[in-house]
Amino acid sequence: MGWCLGPDKGLVKPDVTFFMDINPSDAKNRGNYGEERYEVENFQQQVIKQFKKLAEPNWNIIDAGQPLNSVTQQVQSIAVNAIDENKSSINEFETI
């Protein structure tokens, strides 16, 4: 997995990261699913598995299978909280 993280070395570390998690079976029921060559359920299950290995403690894992307004409220709440927490360090950056 190191090869996957390598290109990010030295970049600014994000204040917040969202991982929209959805069961591939549920994603399949959404419009336009399957039009991309990577939108195959088995492949998507493997992708999710690998992303979960990469997940860090500061990642916010959102259940994207919820109604859109619930997902939106969670993302907005977390984003506003992150902005408030980082106001005092607006010009300070950590790197990956």
Over residues 3-45, the pLDDT tens digits come to 777 788 888 888 899 999 988 778 777 766 666 676 777 888 8
Mean pLDDT within 65-84: 94
Range of the domain at 51: 14-27+36-86
- Nearest-Å Rg of the Cα atoms of the chain is 16
Q: What is the number of structural domains in the chain?
A: 1
Give the C-alpha distances (Å, rounded to integers) separating 12 from 52, 90, 91: 21, 13, 12
Residue 92 belongs to a domain: no
Residue 66 belongs to a domain: yes
Handedness of CA 80, 63, 69, 29 (dihedral sign): positive
Residue 4 belongs to a domain: no
Q: If you ran DSSP here, which 8-state letter would residue 12 be given?
A: B
Q: pLDDT band for 79, please (50, 70, 90 cuts).
A: very high
Q: How many residues does the chain have?
A: 96
Query: Is 76 a residue whose pLDDT tops 70?
Result: yes
Asked if 16 and 59 count as a contact pair (C-beta separation under 8 A), the reply is: no
Residue 68 belongs to a domain: yes
